[in-house]
Structure 1
């Protein structure tokens, strides 16, 4: 009998571990096919919700945030670039990016979800930010991501110029903060079990098997 797994994935576009975590999740889901059937829904989280104005170069911003030196942050990011490369994820310009607000990007993910393209949109945004060091608060960049996934740019522009999905994004953020999610990625499995962090694919595979065994 096919096991059904529902995953609510809480993440931010500006979070490198979220991109790595999803790539590892893909590996885990593939390893369990066809015995498991997965349903995935993305949920919004902002690492820097109060960000306004011009972006700051990422290395000094992270160094200040974590109380580390820029060289330490550069070394940490190099490790992430290596991990991403092994997973086939483009992080080639992650050290050239700047801080930015991701609220509108989350709104477009919500819009894309209605057309069955939320994952494709999320991946396009990850690629724009980490692979190309583009500002994913810029509407031109966002519309280019829309074009890449084959969705209607005119309709997307209308979304960006309106307040559509504003409440949906805020509801996500409130819901998961109240549920105790303070770091991302966070995987809520079958609306009951929390897996925190960008776990290795093998770890996720075992977790899904254990959860299925508990619910049988």
Structure 2
């Protein structure tokens, strides 16, 4: 069985990151007989400067893209339908607040050391897009930790002590230096870059470029 390592450069606040991962899961399921996949979630903040609280996403998106709130609502509805087809909960995508995700990324780094980074990332996606919770808030983050079965007390210590903060900053700087300016971005075996929420077929093609096994 051949090993495939994938670095997933993403942000908790990015709906396409959740969709892109769901599509990757579909591709991995198709290739599971021949490949052993390992994943590493890499930090990227869409709004690293944001320090507000409670500002809703639709007005901010409308201002950013020069569209009406109604247009942005329709775009979010499209994402909700797409997510539903992939089994993802985006039920509150319209109502989600703008969040700073730095602390969420710190907890994902902590969870990675215990082999739970994907589970925690998915719980965070669900809290944000499915429940419109503010994933910058400590209690929301700790609820996600508890949901996946990790111990809350050490996670609380991580948040209180700013643990893994330097790791997150260094990681973001590294991928920015590589030229990654939007997410999701997927790096396969340190050789092949796949950007955006690609369909499973694109994943099969990308892996086929690295190994003849995917062509059989």
TM-score range, shorter chain: over 0.9
Displacement, 1:203? 1.2
Map 1:123-138; keep pairs closer than 5 Å: 123-138=122-137
Write out the 4+ residue segments of structure 1 that deviate beyond 6 Å after TM superposition: none
Match of 1:11 in 2: 10
The 3-state SS of whatever aligns with 2:9 is strand
Cα distance in 1 for residues equivalent to 2:206 and 2:45: 26
TM-score (ref. length: structure 1) = 0.96
The 3-state SS of whatever aligns with 1:82 is helix
Displacement, 1:71? 1.3
Match of 1:106 in 2: 105
Displacement, 1:213? 3.7
User: Does 2:74 correspond to 1:75?
Assistant: yes
Q: Are 2:192 and 2:206, in contact at CA under 8 Å, matched by a contact in 1? A: no
Moved more, 51-60 or 154-163: 51-60
Q: Deviations over 1:157-215 (max 9, x none)?
A: 0000002100110011100000010110000111121100000111112211222249x
TM-score (ref. length: structure 2) = 0.96
Number of aligned residue pairs: give it.
Answer: 213
Q: Which runs of 5+ in 2 are unaligned?
A: none
Match of 2:208 in 1: 209
Cα distance in 2 for residues equivalent to 1:90 and 1:153: 24
RMSD (CA atoms): 1.1
Match of 1:54 in 2: 53
The 3-state SS of whatever aligns with 1:125 is helix
Cα distance in 1 for residues equivalent to 2:15 and 2:48: 16
Match of 1:33 in 2: 32
Q: Deviations over 1:33-73 (max 9, x none)?
A: 11011110000000000000223111001111112111111
